[in-house]
């Protein structure tokens, strides 16, 4: 059986009419395509197994690379709540233009092996070191870096007391 370089339509990293990859393969003469449609141009090459050519910066911004695997950004969002141990109570100043002191705690979460800062909602608390709290994902708009919120009424963090 006689082998010959096959003229192939190449799958590229970017959509048609942008950039085309060069690829080729050796195949029998009988498997050559009859005629290529005009929508996809034909590329002939003697090189073997070139997957894709480098993309320009504008192409990278416009089209995502399909060969690139997406990163797992939030690995700690596997559960809705976590039980943690208070390491230290904190007082945080909010961003401008807000003022006042925001109560927060540094919490060790053994389930994900992290130490995080958690906001305490409501007025007043009696948390100290080594107490147990339940935290959930949530942000405080005027406090940068706080990504968890304590849940009132669970474990050692009591409900907000009514005013008399």
Q: What share of the chain is helix, strand, coil (3-state, %, to 5)?
A: 5, 25, 65
CB atoms within 10 A of CB 57: 7
28 class by beta-carbon count within 10 Å (0-12 exposed, 13-18 middle, 19+ buried) = exposed
pTM (whole model) above 0.85: no
CATH assignment of 81-150, among 2.50.20.10, 3.40.140.10, 2.40.50.140, 3.40.50.720? 2.40.50.140
CA distance linking residue 41 with residue 11, whole number of Å: 11
9-53 pLDDT, tens digit per residue, is 444 444 545 444 444 444 444 554 555 555 555 555 454 444 556
> What's the confidence (pLDDT) of residue 92?
94
Cα dihedral 30/35/39/44 (nearest 10): 60
89-111 pLDDT, tens digit per residue, is 999 999 999 999 999 999 999 98
- Domain residue ranges of the chain, discontinuous segments joined by +: 1-67, 81-150
């Amino acid at each position: 059986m006689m082998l010959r370089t096959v003229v192939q339509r190449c799958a590229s990293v970017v959509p048609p009419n942008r950039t085309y990859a060069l690829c080729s393969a050796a195949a029998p003469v009988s498997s050559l395509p009859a005629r290529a449609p005009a929508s996809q141009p034909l590329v002939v090459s003697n090189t073997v197994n070139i997957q894709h050519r480098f993309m320009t910066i504008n192409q990278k911004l416009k089209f995502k690379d399909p060969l690139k695997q997406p990163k797992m950004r939030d690995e700690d969002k596997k559960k809705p709540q976590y039980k943690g141990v208070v390491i230290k109570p904190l007082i945080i100043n909010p961003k401008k233009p807000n003022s006042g002191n925001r109560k927060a705690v540094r919490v060790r979460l053994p389930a994900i092996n992290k130490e995080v800062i958690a906001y305490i909602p409501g007025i007043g608390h009696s948390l100290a070191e080594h107490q147990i709290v339940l935290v959930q994902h949530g942000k405080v708009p005027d406090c940068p870096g706080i990504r968890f919120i304590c849940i009132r009424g669970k474990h050692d963090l009591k409900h907000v007391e009514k005013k008399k």
